[in-house]
Amino acid sequence: MAKHTITLIPGDGIGPEIVAATVRIIEASGIDVEWETQILGAHALEKLGTTLPEAATDSIKKNKVALKGPLTTPIGKGFTSVNVGLRKALDLYANVRPIRALPNIPCKYPDLDIVIVRENTEDLYAGLEHTVVPGVVESIKIITAKASTRISRYAFEFAKREGRRKVTAVHKANIMKLSDGLFLECFYNVAKEFPKIEADDKIIDNCCMQLVMNPQQFDVMVMENLYGDIVSDLCAGLIGGLGLAPGANIGEIGAVFEAVHGSAPDIAGQGVANPTALLMSGILMLRHIGERDAADRTEKAMLDVFAEGTTITKDLGGTAKTADFANAIIDKLKQ
């Protein structure tokens, strides 16, 4: 069995709790893994004088894969987002967010199966802002043909690999004719290379309404950074909440797997956080490193625990603690 060295970033708030639970489950799946723990964000600033230490990025570059807990970003002031910094530093250009309902979890669309592919490196989300004169701020949206083409190609290749039927581009090209217009033009250029996969597009506002009313029409969806940030939270709401939405940040250099949700400071330290989203990110990671069998078994154990419906965390209406939920999955893995 191949040994894997994986960079582990416990993160802030509930991060260390859900990371510990996920690590225990992944280890119980039987893969041979060594974790290389690295710190980022406020902890790194305190200890190492920088929020994004080279030791962490070097570790990911070397191992090519990381499992990451959420990091807190101060609002309005303080240091800029380390999540955004990490994605930029490693050029993790594709943010892949599968949206799939779980058994027994009350939600609007139990049969939903959508994958959001979000461009991760540019757009308004790059946070290029400055004060022009006091009281006037300029925020710059940069869209390039290179990044738009690259993310569109990733979405179509993903659709082809995973046997999916359609890719939808989401945009506001009716208003932002140049920037979103360029994104859309690149999307349709790439679509020509994939004649067997249907390609269409939706304007973002209509798309949000359609997602709430008739989301089954969507399959793979590709969009710019800011739209992807918002739409993926909307989609998480359709399947039962943020505690259930996994994510992968993929680039040429490496891949970082993390939940869509943040550090949930309101429940940190109580041992009640739901580790499902991070665990599902871990399952994506297992598939990414070629451990398909361990991924399938872990996923089945998790789905079985949900199907039984007796060990459910507080956010989903249960009383189980983070560790109880992890133990229930580990018990299934050992059966």
Which CB contacts under 8 angstroms, 24+ apart, belong to 74-83? 79/41, 79/42, 79/45, 79/51, 80/127, 81/127, 82/40, 82/41, 82/51, 82/52
At 317 the three-state DSSP class reads coil
The DSSP result for 24-52, as a single string, is HHHHHTT-EEEEEE---THHHHHHHS-SS
Contact 263, 15 (CB under 8 A): yes
CA distances from 273 to 105, 189, 215, 257 (A): 16, 43, 28, 18
CB of 278 to ligand NAI, least distance (A): 7
Task: Give 214 or 270: the residue with its C-beta nearer to ligand NAI.
Answer: 270
Task: Give 166 or 314: the residue with its C-beta nearer to ligand NAI.
Answer: 314
CA dihedral (275, 278, 280, 286) in degrees, to 10, reads: -130
CB of 12 to ligand NAI, least distance (A): 7
Q: Which residue is nearest to ligand NAI (CB)?
A: 262
Task: Give 81 or 149: the residue with its C-beta nearer to ligand NAI.
Answer: 81
Kind of pairing, strands 166-171 and 220-223?
parallel
Interaction site with ligand NAI (CB under 6 A): 14, 18, 70-73, 83, 242-243, 258, 261-267, 273-274, 277, 315
CB of 259 to ligand NAI, least distance (A): 6
Task: Give 122 or 258: the residue with its C-beta nearer to ligand NAI.
Answer: 258
CB of 1 to ligand NAI, least distance (A): 31
CB of 250 to ligand NAI, least distance (A): 15
Task: Give 77 or 334: the residue with its C-beta nearer to ligand NAI.
Answer: 77
